[in-house]
């Protein structure tokens, strides 16, 4: 993994996959490395050490979780529990001997879609990722909207009424997140090919998107993430309009950059 020359390093550490990309000029991607996300924080650092053999000008990493105010540590990361509380920024800067910028992985993906993907033509849009968990970000005028705690639409609540007196509250992620779908299906969701199941899930997801539109009032909603490939976007758009109480005409679009949305967002942030 040794490469001569000086590079910018872009990392996207999700609950399932980690992507590390080298760029020579923040315009084009030079080398792309993809591997299973390490559950152990120490194992993750060992992987990063391989890239320290090259000269790293500057680095940007997206992680699946919430950071503290200084963007140094993950304070909540259910899919990266062993990373929580560790001084990510300090450790990564020490290994790479360069400045490191940290951000939520979905925020970077939304930024990537704003400059290079499906959000390119829109001044206000919501980006959602549907993978191990469900994350989101609101982009306004090609910038991350101002916030205090980040954006966590996947933790909003769903109320299900089953029978006369049985009312259950679920977080959206508990119902639709890939990690929990895998437990229910007993296989990777993206490998489950039952059309009826995905039709029903697309309808359920459309209801969730109605809530996103009501809270964020965006031009469009862009959907990315590995499991989003299984969603039926015709059904999403149809049922979004059926369920929407105010009848707002908002398009639901598929992300254009695929698994590299967050990497392109890192390019934007480092520029």
**Does residue 11 contact residue 60 with C-beta atoms inside 8 Å?**
yes
If we measure between CA atoms, which residue out of 154, 133, 124 comes closest to residue 14? 133
Task: Indicate the DSSP class of residue 208.
Answer: H
Select, from the ranges 12-16, 25-29, 56-60, 146-150, the one with the highest average predicted confidence (pLDDT).
56-60
CA 142/CA 174 separation, integer angstroms: 31
- Over 60: is that where the pLDDT of 73 sits? yes
> So what's the pLDDT on residue 3?
61
Backbone angles phi, psi at 7, to 5 degrees: -140, 160
85-131: per-residue pLDDT in tens? 999 999 999 999 999 999 999 999 999 999 999 999 999 999 999 98
Domain ranges of the chain: 6-108+260-270, 118-255
Note the CATH architecture for domain 118-255.
2-Layer Sandwich (3.30)
CA 144/CA 136 separation, integer angstroms: 11
202-254: per-residue pLDDT in tens? 999 999 999 999 999 999 999 999 889 889 999 999 999 999 999 999 999 99
Q: Which helix (H) or strand (E) holds 56?
A: strand 55-63
126-183: per-residue pLDDT in tens? 999 998 889 999 999 999 999 887 888 988 887 776 667 777 788 888 888 888 888 8
Q: Which residues of 112-129 are buried (b: 16+ CB within 10 A; e: fewer)?
A: bbbbbbbbeebeebbbbb
Could you say which of 3.40.50.300, 3.30.420.40, 3.20.20.70, 3.40.367.20 is the CATH number of the domain covering 6-108+260-270? 3.30.420.40
Distances in whole angstroms, Cα of residue 117 to Cα of each of 17, 95, 256, 261: 21, 32, 5, 8
Phi-psi region of 258 (alpha: psi -120 to 50; beta: other; left: phi over 0): left
What residues contact residue 154 under an 8 Å CB cut-off, 6+ apart? 133, 134, 135, 136, 171, 172, 173, 177
0.85 surpassed by pTM: yes
Task: Examine domains 6-108+260-270 and 118-255 and report if their fold is the same.
Answer: yes
């Amino acid at each position: 993994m040794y490469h001569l020359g000086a590079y910018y390093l872009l990392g996207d550490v999700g609950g399932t996959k980690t992507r590390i990309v080298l760029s020579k000029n923040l315009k084009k991607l030079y080398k792309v490395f993809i591997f299973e996300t390490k559950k152990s924080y120490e194992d993750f650092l060992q992987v990063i050490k391989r890239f320290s053999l090259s000269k790293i000008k500057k680095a940007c990493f997206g992680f699946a979780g919430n950071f503290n105010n200084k963007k140094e540590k993950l304070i909540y990361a259910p899919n990266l529990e062993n990373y929580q509380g560790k001084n990510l920024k300090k450790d990564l800067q020490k290994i790479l001997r360069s400045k490191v910028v940290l951000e939520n992985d979905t925020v970077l993906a939304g930024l990537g879609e704003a400059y290079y993907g499906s959000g390119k033509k829109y001044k206000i849009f919501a980006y959602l990722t549907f993978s191990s968990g469900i994350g989101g970000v609101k982009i306004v005028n090609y910038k991350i909207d101002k916030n205090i705690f980040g954006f966590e639409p996947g933790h909003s609540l769903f109320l299900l009424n089953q029978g006369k007196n049985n009312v259950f509250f679920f977080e959206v992620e508990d119902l639709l997140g890939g990690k929990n779908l895998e437990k229910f299906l007993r296989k990777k969701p993206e490998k489950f090919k039952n059309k009826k199941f995905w039709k029903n899930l697309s309808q359920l997801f459309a209801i969730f998107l109605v809530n996103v539109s009501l809270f964020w009032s965006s031009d469009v909603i862009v959907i990315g993430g590995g499991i989003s490939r299984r969603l039926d976007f015709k059904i999403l758009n149809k049922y979004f309009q059926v369920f929407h109480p105010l009848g707002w005409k908002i398009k639901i679009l598929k992300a254009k950059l695929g698994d590299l949305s967050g990497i392109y967002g890192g390019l934007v942030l480092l520029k």
